[in-house]
Each structure stands twice: as C-alpha cells, then as structure tokens.
Amino acid sequence: MPQYPLEMRESAIQGEVLVQFALDKDGSVKSWKVLQEAIPGFSEAAKSVVKDWRFGAAEDYQGNRRSIVLNYAFIFLLPDLNKTNPRTEK
C-alpha cells in the first residue's frame, strides 16, 4: 500500500484516488493513469506503488493469456479521525 503523504497526514486530510492500470499478458503493469482524485496530493503516492505491482497472468476461458485493464481505488483514511468507521476498526 502507498505511504500516506506526510503533508496530508499532518493536515488531517483524507482522500481517495481512482487509478486505472493495464496489465500485460505476463501480469506486469504496462501503463497506468489517475482517473479521479478527490483532493490533489494523493495521486503520486498511489502511482508510486502501482507501477511496481505484479499480478498473475489473466486468462480467458480457453487458457489463453490476455492483457486486461483494471481500476483500483486507493482510500486514504486517518484512523484517529474515523473511530466509528468500520473500515478502520479492528
């Protein structure tokens, strides 16, 4: 997961970034882009980890490897601000 940007943490700012990435037939990320960023500042943290992700190869019903495109939402929450949020409770 990406590092929470220090400036955003210190300012108690939370946010979400929607990233789209294309996987090559071998499961490596070949391209990515930010589709939506609620608050500027979180996209660099999200992009810094996406480029290094690796996945298993995607296959169709006949077992042929395929390139695919996926969307992933990075949600940056600060636990102290979300004590009643079920996403942050353990």
Burial pattern 2-33, b for ≥16 Cβ within 10 A else e, equals beebeebeeeebbbebbbebebbeeeebeebe
Number of domains, the chain: 1
Q: What is the pLDDT of residues 16-64, one digit of tens each?
A: 999 999 999 999 999 999 999 988 889 988 988 988 899 998 999 999 9
Domain-embedded: residue 58:
yes
Mapped onto helix, strand or coil, the DSSP state of residue 85 is coil
Which residues span the domain enclosing 16? 6-81
Domain-embedded: residue 90:
no
Domain-embedded: residue 49:
yes
Q: What is the CATH number of the domain that holds 52?
A: 3.30.2420.10
Question: What pLDDT, on a 0 to 100 scale, did the predictor assign at position 41?
Answer: 85
> Where are any strands of DSSP class E within 1-90?
15-23, 29-37, 58-59, 65-66, 68-76
Domain-embedded: residue 50:
yes
Domain-embedded: residue 87:
no
Q: What is the pTM of this model?
A: 0.76
